[in-house]
Amino acid sequence: MLKLEDTYLHKGKRKALIALLREKGIKSERVLQAINTLPRHFFFDSALISHAYEDKAFPIGEGQTISQPYTVAFQTELLDVKEGDKILEIGTGSGYQGSILHLLGADVYSIEYQHKLYEGTKRFLKRLGIEFHLFYGDGTGGVPEYAPYDKIIVTAGAPVIPEALIQQLKIGGILVIPVGDKKRQSMVRIIKKSAKEVVREEFDGFAFVPLLGKDGWN
């Protein structure tokens, strides 16, 4: 088993990554601090560890990827995470994004569609000592058992916004979801103003793996 070791070299690379994220426009000190605290290389396959602090997405198995650090920072900033927020993540993947939310003091619920990733990440997070609620299944229907949520984050590219996700948001809650075709998406932020009214903002230029499942690309 891989030894989890955070060396000065890794810490130095992380610092440089934080400087780059700042340059690219990430402003939230809390978000930058969380990324600086969590060793991203722990979430990497041993063969790829030397790339862990590049601002790129990398394979995590099952044809899936750990999102680019800028994308994690951007989505997390849009979510405006407050201590104690109940947050649902669709697409657990490596567990990195969920761990960032956990570090920010959120009560995290995360669902993953690929069984192997769900099992592997569950074991790995336990070993890291980071524990939050993990589910296996299709997240396009949300996780109704624990709804409503303060915030919902989708970390795979959706063809449309699944209605269930808006339903499972509290009034005043925020949904952040990449929406577009299979190759390119815009980041959409929805703020639920009332049961019927939402405010929508959009930011261009993202590329996620496809959201599968009932309201995804299947």
Catalytic residues: 67
Choices 19-27, 34-42, 189-197, 207-215 (CB under 6 A): range interacting with ligand SAH: 207-215
178 counts as binding ligand SAH under rule CB under 6 A: no
Choices 3-11, 63-71, 80-88, 170-178 (CB under 6 A): range interacting with ligand SAH: 63-71
88 counts as binding ligand SAH under rule CB under 6 A: no
Cα separation, 37 vs 112, whole angstroms: 24
114 counts as binding ligand SAH under rule CB under 6 A: yes
> Do 102 and 80 touch, CB atoms closer than 8 A?
no
What DSSP line would sit under 142-183, residue for residue? --GGG--EEEEEE-SBBSS--HHHHHTEEEEEEEEEEEESSS
Choices 16-24, 111-119, 168-176, 196-204 (CB under 6 A): range interacting with ligand SAH: 111-119
Token pair in block for residue 187:
């980041």
Sheet holding 185-192, edge to edge: 133-136, 107-112, 86-90, 149-154, 169-180, 185-192, 198-206
- For ligand SAH, the closer CB: 193 or 218: 218
Give min distance, CB of 164 to ligand SAH, in A. Answer: 11
Q: Tell me what percent of the chain is helix, strand and coil, each rounded to the nearest 5.
A: 35, 30, 35
> Do 171 and 152 touch, CB atoms closer than 8 A?
no
Token pair in block for residue 113:
């569609």
185 counts as binding ligand SAH under rule CB under 6 A: no
- For ligand SAH, the closer CB: 66 or 106: 66
Residue list 90-109, contact with ligand SAH (CB under 6 A)? 90-91, 93-94, 96-97
Q: By the criterion CB under 6 A, which residues form the site for ligand SAH? A: 64-67, 90-91, 93-94, 96-97, 111-114, 117, 138-140, 155-156, 209, 211-213, 216
